């Protein structure tokens, strides 16, 4: 009868355990984590890449490639279909190149929406941070101002400002800035109230640091991620409202092109040539969706509630 095999030594057993393949659940978990990281990266970089391409198309492409005039056309070349020679997206009813109108209209949309949102951030963040940090009657008064701006129909306010001040790009920016003020102010106020009771804030106050220095050095850097994410959503909303004002004739003054005015002009031939409306509407839709997706992806990555 054969003798039993000797038991492996402790060192050998340790070596065998180390060299053994990981259990199946660990492999599944690792693959799941890699898949989740890839999904988060795609949700971030796909909309970011599209917006980078749109910005390059609107602001860099005209510097590299000579585009036809977006305001003056040749009536002989009117109503040409897409992919016509010299006109990638065709021409409109008076022979103006549609691609040029899309490019320069995108410039107007981005400039107006970003400028209006930055004004809203500056005013709204200031109101929200001051209200959240000092509290008391200051918070009560400033919060009521934000409530009034939030409850008032912003489109009606923008129409009233545009009508009262007259059609102008600058007037349009100031009118649209009221869309961002209450939203940014609410976010800044809520984040500041949470930070106000944090230990490092208490330590800064006990150290004798002035209130404005605490706000600049501690509060503002901490609430920037929340403001950035909500501002991206705000830029998308402002682009839509700017297009609506252009559609109604209260936005970018003619003959400057804009996506909203292109849709308004194309509705007269919507049945016969729907591409006049569909092309600017598609650019408007995809741009706003990309801004919303980018804002959601950044909020998820930065852990903003």
N- to C-terminal Cα distance for the chain? 72
Domain residue ranges in the chain: 111-302
What is the three-class DSSP state of 3? Answer: coil
pLDDT given for residue 21 in this prediction: 54
Closest to 172 in 3D by CA, of 230, 246, 105: 246
pLDDT given for residue 150 in this prediction: 85
pLDDT given for residue 171 in this prediction: 84
Crossing angle, helix 220-248 and helix 169-176, to 10 degrees? 130
pLDDT in tens, 249-282: 888 887 888 898 888 888 887 777 788 889 999 9
Q: What is the DSSP string of 249-296?
A: T-SSPTTS--HHHHHHHHGGGTTT-THHHHHHHHHHHHHHHHHHHHHH
Superfamily of domain 111-302: MetI-like (1.10.3720.10)
pLDDT given for residue 12 in this prediction: 46
Segments of the chain scoring below 70 in pLDDT? 1-28, 305
Distance CA 89, CA 83 (A): 6
Mean of the per-residue pLDDT values of the chain = 83
């Amino acid at each position: 009868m054969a003798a039993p095999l000797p038991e492996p030594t402790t060192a050998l057993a340790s070596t065998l355990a180390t060299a053994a393949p990981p259990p199946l659940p660990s492999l599944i978990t690792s693959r799941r984590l890699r898949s989740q990281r890839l999904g988060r990266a795609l949700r971030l970089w796909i909309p970011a890449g599209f917006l980078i391409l749109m910005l390059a198309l609107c602001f860099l492409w005209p510097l590299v490639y000579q585009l036809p005039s977006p305001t003056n056309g040749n009536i002989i070349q009117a109503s040409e279909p897409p992919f016509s020679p010299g006109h990638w997206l065709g021409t409109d009813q008076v022979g103006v190149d549609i691609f040029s109108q899309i490019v320069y209209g995108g410039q107007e949309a981005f400039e107006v929406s970003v400028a209006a949102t930055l004004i809203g951030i500056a005013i709204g963040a200031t109101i929200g941070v001051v209200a959240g940090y000092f509290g008391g009657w200051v918070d009560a008064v400033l919060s009521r101002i934000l409530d009034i701006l939030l409850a008032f129909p912003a489109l009606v306010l923008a129409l009233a400002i545009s009508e009262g001040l007259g059609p102008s790009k600058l007037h349009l920016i100031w009118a649209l800035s009221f869309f961002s003020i209450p939203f940014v102010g609410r976010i800044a106020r809520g984040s500041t109230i949470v930070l106000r009771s944090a230990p490092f804030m208490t330590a800064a106050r006990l150290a004798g640091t002035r209130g404005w220095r605490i706000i600049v050095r501690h509060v503002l850097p901490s609430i920037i991620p929340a403001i950035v994410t909500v501002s991206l959503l705000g830029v998308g909303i402002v682009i839509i409202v700017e297009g609506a004002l252009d559609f109604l004739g209260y936005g970018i003054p003619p003959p400057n092109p804009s996506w909203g005015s292109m849709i308004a002009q194309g509705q007269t031939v919507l049945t016969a040539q729907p591409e006049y409306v569909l092309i600017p509407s598609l650019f408007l839709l995809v741009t706003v969706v990309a801004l919303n997706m980018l804002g959601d992806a950044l909020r998820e990555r930065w852990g903003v509630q």
